[in-house]
Amino acid sequence: MLKTVQRQNIIKYLHQLKEPITKSKKQMQYALIGNSGTFNLSEFDEFVNSYKRLHQLAPEALDGFDHLLSALDEFFNSLHNILRIDNMEIFITWYNLAISSSGDTVRAMSDYYNHAQFDNVLVNVNEEMGQYNTYNGACFAKVLMVCSVRTLAIENSFELALVRWYDFKHLNRLHKYKCPWITLTNIYSFIPVDLLIELVHIVPCFNSENEYFANVFIF
């Protein structure tokens, strides 16, 4: 389900990028802040190894780097027959945080006042909500990285978030204590930053492994 939603949103996003900008079109209401580095995808291993020697990375950041290449492959595979791109043409700028369309600051940082912070968010998948279980047309995800991906094959850059998805713990019981009852999956995706709706407070279930409640009472 999550991969299908991701692919459909990526294709829609690409078509939006290729459309000419007119005065009547609204500008995208988000921003990426805090440049942590830029690298050519062909030099990915060298960049990561060098960065790890100089910085202490949180487990979430390491997890993001471990899945970056496969998630990026999936992102560009979704554009098959639309773009032809090779690794030599791809440049990635890695950022600390994004400002979502709602104005929330979404952080993916190993060191935020001496603590790691990788925020949980609601992701807009409204157009596919009729086919899948969602929370009011949105899905839950943990943001591991935000970045700008630039390629010579297209004039615009891709402003993306690398996320690890949550899903409902049980399909026959979506809520517990009136909150979405969810689990962290092993599905990772790059999604457009403009799909990030807002921060969400996700609470681990006491004495349970990989079970969480989305605290919808403090949205």
Instruction: Report the DSSP pairing between strands 90-99 and 105-112.
Output: antiparallel
Residue 63 CB neighbour total at 10 angstroms: 18
Residue 25 belongs to some domain of the structure: no
Name 203's bridge partners. 213
Could you tell me the pTM of the whole model?
A: 0.85
Question: Has residue 190 been placed in a domain?
Answer: yes
> What pLDDT is stored for residue 22 in this prediction?
40
User: Which of 132, 180, 93 lies closest to 9 in space, CA to CA?
Assistant: 132
Question: What was the pLDDT predicted at 83?
Answer: 59
Tell me whether residue 77 is in a domain. Answer: yes
DSSP β-bridge partners for residue 22 = none
Residue 199 lies in a domain: yes
- 26: pLDDT confidence band, cut at 50, 70 and 90? very low
Q: How many domains does the chain have?
A: 1
* CA 44/CA 188 separation, integer angstroms: 18
Which pLDDT belongs to residue 107? Answer: 98
- Dig out the tokens for 159 from the structure: 């402003």
For residue 157, give its domain range. Answer: 2-14+31-218
Confidence of residue 216 (pLDDT cuts 50, 70, 90): confident
Evaluate whether residue 181 is within a structural domain. Answer: yes
Residue 20: inside a domain, yes or no?
A: no
- Is 98 a domain residue? yes
Q: Assign residue 136 a region: left if phi > 0, alpha if psi is -120 to 50, beta otherwise?
A: left
- Spatial CB neighbours of 67, under 8 Å, sequence gap ≥ 6: 144, 162, 164, 188
Whether residue 37 lies inside any domain: the answer is yes
